[in-house]
Amino acid sequence: MNSDFDSVFATFENTRRSLPHAPFLHVPANCPGGPLDLSYDQAGLAISKLRDVYRNAGYTRGHHVGLLLENRASFFLHWIALNALGATVVPLGADATPAETAYILEFGDVDLVVHLSERQSQAAMAAQSVPALQLVSADAFDGAIPAAAQPKAAGPQPDSAAIVFTSGSTGRPKGCVLSNEYFLTFGRWYRDLGGRCTLRYGQERLITPLPLNHVNALAFSSMGMIFTGGCVIQLDRFHSTYWWETVRRAGATVMHYLGVMPAMLLQLPSRSDDQAHNLRFGFGGGVRSAHHRAFEDRFAVPLIEAWAMTETGGAGTIATNLGPRHIGSGCIGRPAAAYSEATIVGDDGGETPPGTPGELVVRATGTDPRRGFFAGYYKDPAATSTVWSGGWLHTGDVAVRDAEGSIFFVGRRKQIIRRSGENISAAEVEAVLSADDAVRHVAVIPVPDDIREEEVCAVVVPHDGVEPSISLATSMIERAARQLSFFKLPGYVAFADSIPVTATQKPRYSTVIDLVTTLIAQQAPTVFDLRQLKRKFRISN
């Protein structure tokens, strides 16, 4: 690796030297902390000051620093400052419950949490069960921060720029260790992508409402802009009602999206200025088939569908930037030949012929199949070995390839529910609901949602003598909300006499999904729609 590009910080500094006055970060006026504009040089000066504060307090490689900074400018500044010292950042979600946050802090060996002042109580509640954890407010970051103690992480520390926790299919979230090479590969990949997604050096303004505790915003959009001297337009979250106004005023040329965004924007009343913007393309995934063509026709923004995982980074991303897009078909395109390759395998591990579904597996080109991918699951070498098998990363996603080589997403093998861009572990939600005194058995499944792609549904077999009712369903969700983020809570509760199981007594999920989808469509009296209740818990956070 070129010594000038051996870290996120060094790459940022290289762009800063080349384009000191170019805009790096824009926060619109309708977002917290806005309006704010920082050039590469202005951001670099702020980063250097933060780096010195951290260095003087003793923070260095091996220290893990949690960032509870939401989608604010301070996140970028603290992240890059810590990267300059070789420290590891652990992004924290603002929507997480204290119990969820505490798990990440303890399992992730976090030494210090930097939080917004309005997140003080969340951080303090989580810290109660985490030994020797120190807290500091980013708003009072004046140089007098807690001195660093010996890092909690044991042993010699490899290059670890970040640990991003992502839902696993078997319970608690797994910590994906992301090296500097992972971040730099993401930036190079986006820079080199070309075709429909060609980035113009020093000219792009990329707007994203996606959360910085997820890889899309943390690594994809950020590194793409840093590598090409572009500007990140960071929103606090997606607001459909004033999306287009923000796009126009901010001068956005590229948008990053999730499938829920086109769905919601298509619900807005048509306007004569629907196409009055500078967007060249949107890049994302999960747009519903019925919405894809309609969105492009109405707003004149090509939606370039792609597929990726936190584990793959840019090295394993597949996109429709080149070749046929097959709009509305679930096509995710082809891997970038210079970076990765992909194939579809059957249950026997052999490659399936065109037209036959199987598991999507990916790897880097060249002699090292893991080059640019995640470094592994934190403190879980067994899970890392499992996901890497036979030199391929096994995604758990089902796909099919046509005769020309285009890949089409079919669904997920593993029990992950994809709601508004959030990956939700069915097993984690089941574990919380199973502890409810009213529940004998429970299976958590995805059901289709016209706006959010999928919604969480709990199929519940109550104990004898417990009568299904809306009040029972409501009380179950209210109790679960003490431990689960609002988006993980069931939007539907379906009561049943039994749950179909396999020969090994595991829920037969495909059968349960078909059954419940039909019951919801029929508005069966034992199925309760609690999606509005979920919104209450989001507001309370």
- Could you report the per-residue pLDDT of 441-481, keeping only the tens digit for each? 899 999 888 888 899 999 999 988 899 999 999 999 999 99
More confident of the two residues 196 and 5:
196
Last residue of a domain, one of 414, 449, 473: 414
Give the pLDDT band of residue 170 (cuts 50, 70, 90).
low
For residue 491, give Cα distances in angstroms to 72, 258, 328, 533, 539.
29, 20, 27, 8, 15
531 and 435: one domain? yes
Bridge-partner residues for 38, per DSSP? 25
Measured N-to-C along each axis, helices 120-127 and 98-107 cross at an angle, to the nearest 10 degrees, of 60
Q: What pLDDT, on a 0 to 100 scale, did the predictor assign at position 48?
A: 97
Residues 317, 306 contacting (CB under 8 angstroms): yes
Q: What pLDDT, on a 0 to 100 scale, did the predictor assign at position 541?
A: 52
Neighbouring CB atoms inside 10 A of 2's CB total 9
366 and 453: one domain? no
426 and 531: one domain? yes
Percent of the chain with pLDDT over 90: 72
Q: What pLDDT, on a 0 to 100 scale, did the predictor assign at position 173?
A: 86
**pLDDT > 80? residue 167:** no
One-letter amino acid of 33: G
495 and 431: one domain? yes
Residue 252 maps to a domain: no
Neighbouring CB atoms inside 10 A of 135's CB total 18
Q: What's the rounded mean pLDDT across residues 186-205? A: 97
439 and 410: one domain? no
Residue 378 maps to a domain: yes
Residues 226, 353 contacting (CB under 8 angstroms): no
For residue 153, give Cα distances in angstroms to 106, 137, 202, 421.
11, 23, 39, 30
Residue 487 maps to a domain: yes
426 and 521: one domain? yes
449 and 428: one domain? yes
Q: What is the pLDDT of residues 288-307, one digit of tens each?
A: 888 999 999 999 999 999 99
Q: What pLDDT, on a 0 to 100 scale, did the predictor assign at position 4?
A: 47
Give the pLDDT band of residue 169 (cuts 50, 70, 90).
low
479 and 519: one domain? yes
Quote the domain boundaries for residue 362: 331-414
Output the domain CATH number for residue 522: 3.30.300.30
Q: What pLDDT, on a 0 to 100 scale, did the predictor assign at position 512?
A: 86
Q: What pLDDT, on a 0 to 100 scale, did the predictor assign at position 507?
A: 78
More confident of the two residues 154 and 435:
435
**pLDDT > 60? residue 112:** yes
**pLDDT > 90? residue 275:** yes
Residue 46 maps to a domain: no
Give the pLDDT band of residue 5 (cuts 50, 70, 90).
low
* Lowest-pLDDT range of 19-28, 78-87, 109-118, 139-148: 139-148
CA 236 to chain centre: 15
- Reported as type and span, the H/E element at residue 180 is helix 180-192
Output the domain CATH number for residue 381: 2.30.38.10
More confident of the two residues 29 and 173:
29
Q: What pLDDT, on a 0 to 100 scale, did the predictor assign at position 140?
A: 79
Give the pLDDT band of residue 523 (cuts 50, 70, 90).
confident
Residue 519 maps to a domain: yes
**pLDDT > 50? residue 1:** no
Q: What pLDDT, on a 0 to 100 scale, did the predictor assign at position 502?
A: 63
Q: What is the pLDDT of residues 344-383, one digit of tens each?
A: 999 888 999 999 989 999 999 999 999 999 999 999 999 9
pTM: 0.84
Residue 203 maps to a domain: no
Measured N-to-C along each axis, helices 8-18 and 73-84 cross at an angle, to the nearest 10 degrees, of 110
Q: Three-state SS for 468?
A: coil
For residue 15, give Cα distances in angstroms to 212, 480, 506.
21, 47, 53
Last residue of a domain, one of 387, 414, 441: 414
Number of folded domains that form the chain? 2
410 and 498: one domain? no
For residue 327, give the nearest of 302, 355, 363 by alpha carbon.
302
Last residue of a domain, one of 357, 384, 414: 414
Q: What is the mean pLDDT of the chain?
A: 91
